[in-house]
Structure 1
């Protein structure tokens, strides 16, 4: 059995196992048959050797018998002939017989001894007979010869019997050897036949077990080649066939996925072509070799000379055709320079945006390189916008003069209104004292009402003038270190008479050692006074509470009362200027609705915020949060917080370790629901969001975040195995990173969220649908987009990091576009920020003039809003370098 270790486990080699097993079986059978045949051959060899030995013994016995006969013959001849030759021949025969008897003694000692004894007797008797015949004693000679013959007959019979026995044994041994050899040959034939048959069967079985799956796999491959699903595949497993089956199924699934992707790609291409044809701008796409591969009808309408050129024309051929058309006003001596500059700018556009005069119109030419080395060119007709820009520049100068006149008017009104009121209040106090001293107490109540009305009127005038200053951007901050405890005590003493009017009790909770904060003492004191007086006004014989505490880098002031409370509808318009909860409260409790509006404005100026919770009949709670370090430190709370939403625990650990190691605070959620809840509760600085998640995917989470006013401004970085970056940017993500995420790219993206970005736009609109539309438009133009659902949040985001451009809606709750723009222009950095106002409001001449003075462009929603927005952005972006110039500056 053979195998190869790979992956997490050990893979089985079925083919190697079967072939190796077959080889082992055949080799074993071969070895066994060889051993059996060797044993058979060894036994046969022993039998043949025994038969040979029997035959040799027979030969020895037969030779002894012959020699014994020769001895008898020559002894008889000697007895008759008395010849010496016969005696020598008889002796020679006896010597040979003695040699044979010596050999015979080795396997028949008894017979050899008998014959040797008989031979000696025969020899002696025969010699004695010869001697008797020589002496003439024939009777004795005959007797002795007769005795010798008798003895020789006995010996001859013994030799004959021995020869007979040996002959019989030799024949038996030969028959046994022949029979055994025949049986061994038959057994060898049978064994060979069995080996051949068994080997053939085993080989057939092994080949069948290999070839059948291979045949099924071959048919499946044919099915795949012909576009069909593989039919009869071996079951999946750890062996070769199982892995091949798994691979073929995966290949089929990949083919299906590829076909689906090709269909999606074709559909997307059709969509892109449709979109390219429907956009109002001229569009052209050049490949890496600068040859034209795509153009729309608008391009041909603008550049009529290009209609006769083939679609694969090069950019240089387009320039030559443009020169030949005569639509360009280029001197002959400058043609080469102009052509070289155009080719150089086209070869390295770097997101260039160039305004150019062409054939009686103004065009904005935007070019950008594609990832594959090609170039995208967009040609927008901005002739009307150029004309409007000139008008707006003229109107801005007029608006600046009007704003300056308004500032002088406010200063004059402040003096003209406050001066007589101060006199009225002063004289009222003096008359009260004089009447009391003179004992004319009857006139004192009337004089006190005059004083009270004067002070009330002065407070109203102060509120109106303060609100006017705030809206005009003339309100200034005077930041200083303020001891919190003495300030609260001063406010308590000041508000005490107002609380006594409705018999209310004031409870103040300030923790010991609360220390100081950097703020504007007067505005903080006025805010607290307004909140406490407001609570006392709507509470009768109840309790008003003021609690002060620190929360991180902020100081929190909470004012609670036991008054009439407010409904949700009343809370929604609570902080609007000149608006009270409803008309009934104005008639019953008085007031103009300016106090809370001023409180909110001061909070925002100081870098803080204010909110309220209430219910009818259950009182109200106002929470004011101000940065302890002053407005410049608003929003700074140490390390940024990053929320990671991913259903993969390993990805959560990996991304969390990377982000945490870079010094960020990390929050994690393993599903969309928990992630959205955590984002709403903790308001992270950025979100890392996976796309592929169960139940609710990342696209749905991103869409819900962008529709939520609380979360729409949170930057989102998509993290996924998918690579549709353009789709992610269009949905509102600031970046899309592919898994596995490279730590350097992730940290660079996070750092970019807190760094200076010239190509970053802040989109401010309370309508999620409008934000979604503009986000897609801006992302397509290469802008990084941050979002805010109202003006207050927009100012906070600008304080955290200045964008390169702001697109601002006018009609928004809480803080509308006018107020936002005013707040923005109050700051040194904000005055240089280009702002494009996008609105559906019917502007009055005064509003339009004001916007001309404070915004770069005004674009109306609907109609040509999209092209107007792009054209307005184009006017604010410097050509070639993508930077944004300060107000009033144009870039060529």
Structure 2
């Protein structure tokens, strides 16, 4: 017979019944401790599993963001030719066109711009999600910005017979924000309002709420069911498949707008009634994220050259996707030379110093770019050379070398005209 480990306690009990009762109490306590140890082990396993899942999800998200940034940039490259050459042909630079050719070119250009908008949203969303988006804060004139956004939406609203209205409070005239991103947020909200409003009115109202500026976009459209008010902020989401067929769009605008709002230290929310319309509320801190009052470098907006500039050099390892740039600048009377290496640039300098050098987006990634550009400054050259850089879409301006201008891709004719100061 196996010895009872509690036999040493038997003398302390008044009788056998008390001893048995003691054994039962101690057995219950031991069972309770065993259950506690088991639950603690299970909790530790669950915590470790959740942490592993979190790390895997973060790694997958980062991989997705890197992939989206890479593929979005690669998709923009052929759009240089699609948008640039179609715009060039539409202006009949290379010869007259008949009405049907103009119609087809306008359709090509419009489709290219629509594709560009989708690609831009994908890239912007991936940059925000991966923490690579950096705000360029400036003091923004809100009445001017809002009127500009409404003017851009007006043609689409007019096609549907919608009325656009603006209400701006006198104490809500400025705020510290990234003007380009704020414009993008407002245009996303206004575009959605027009898109989902068959008739009636779209209103943009701006007012101050303590230390916040509130932008309210209100429409009289189809509305959103209460159980789907949060679903619409998920990427690639519209309300249902029927709406996907009826209304164009990739479902990225609201997701991107909310994340840009959060990046500014603000938020985006919605109120809606089906069949009666929706109200989107965008609130941003007046003094920027964290109350900062400093501004960072911006893309230059002033023209680079006065009239009369006549010579330009383009440097890039791949010159094929700059054909629209070269064709248009030559059509404007400039002499243009393309170079695939800095040795070729030096050969051009030996012949004649250009007024302007454009660095292609592939060459912009060259680690030695700053050193090469240093060779283009007096006294190494007899006169200063203006430098414009085509920005890689996955690079912040702060990471680029110093230049006179930075140009976001795709390089459209209006951007070229600003650079050339024609």
Q: For residues 278 and 553 of structure 1, do their structure 2 counterparts lie closer, same or farther at Cα, with a shift above 3 Å needed?
A: same
Match of residue 161 from structure 2: 503
Q: Quote the offset at 1:383 in angstroms.
A: 12
Structure-2 separation of matches of 1:442 and 1:463: 32
Deviation per residue, 1:221-242 (Å, 9 max, x gap) = xxxxxxxxxxxxxxxxxxxxxx
Task: Give the structure-1-normalised TM-score.
Answer: 0.27
Matched, 1:450 2:108: yes
Matched, 1:481 2:126: no
Match of residue 197 from structure 2: 539
Matched, 1:607 2:265: yes
Structure-1 separation of matches of 2:255 and 2:241: 17
Contact 2:258 2:268 in 1 (8 A): yes
Task: Give the structure-2-normalised TM-score.
Answer: 0.55
Structure-2 separation of matches of 1:518 and 1:275: 64
Match of residue 577 from structure 1: 235
* Structure 1 SS opposite 2:154: helix
Match of residue 277 from structure 1: 32
Structure-2 separation of matches of 1:569 and 1:383: 33
Matches within 5 A, 1:653-732: none
Match of residue 253 from structure 1: none
Q: For residues 418 and 276 of structure 1, do their structure 2 counterparts lie closer, same or farther at Cα, with a shift above 3 Å needed?
A: same
Structure-2 separation of matches of 1:403 and 1:625: 27
Deviation per residue, 1:537-573 (Å, 9 max, x gap) = 1223532110000011111111111222222234342
Contact 2:217 2:279 in 1 (8 A): yes
Q: For residues 572 and 413 of structure 1, do their structure 2 counterparts lie closer, same or farther at Cα, with a shift above 3 Å needed?
A: closer
Where do 5+ consecutive residues of structure 1 fail to align? 1-269, 283-297, 299-378, 635-892
2:283 to 593, 608, 625: 625
Structure-2 separation of matches of 1:582 and 1:430: 39
Deviation per residue, 1:393-414 (Å, 9 max, x gap) = 9x96x99988776665444323
Where do 5+ consecutive residues of structure 2 fail to align? 1-24, 293-422
Structure-1 separation of matches of 2:249 and 2:41: 54
1:424 to 82, 85, 110: 82
Q: For residues 571 and 440 of structure 1, do their structure 2 counterparts lie closer, same or farther at Cα, with a shift above 3 Å needed?
A: same
1:465 to 123, 126, 148: 123
Match of residue 715 from structure 1: none
Q: Quote the offset at 1:446 in angstroms.
A: 1.3
Q: Quote the offset at 1:388 in angstroms.
A: 6.2
Matched, 1:548 2:303: no
Q: Which has the higher contact order (CA 8 A, sep 6+)?
A: 2
Match of residue 9 from structure 2: none
* Structure 2 SS opposite 1:438: coil
CA RMSD of aligned residues (A): 3.7
Larger Rg: 1
Contact 1:570 1:582 in 2 (8 A): no
Contact 1:508 1:547 in 2 (8 A): yes
Q: For residues 279 and 615 of structure 1, do their structure 2 counterparts lie closer, same or farther at Cα, with a shift above 3 Å needed?
A: farther
Q: For residues 568 and 411 of structure 1, do their structure 2 counterparts lie closer, same or farther at Cα, with a shift above 3 Å needed?
A: closer
Structure-2 separation of matches of 1:566 and 1:511: 28
> Which structure: greater helix fraction?
1
Matched, 1:414 2:169: no
Contact 1:505 1:543 in 2 (8 A): yes
Structure-2 separation of matches of 1:526 and 1:616: 26
Structure-2 separation of matches of 1:418 and 1:383: 49
* Structure 2 SS opposite 1:574: helix
Structure-2 separation of matches of 1:400 and 1:575: 20
Structure-2 separation of matches of 1:554 and 1:519: 12
Q: Quote the offset at 1:275 in angstroms.
A: 11
Matches within 5 A, 1:2-13: none
Structure-1 separation of matches of 2:213 and 2:194: 23
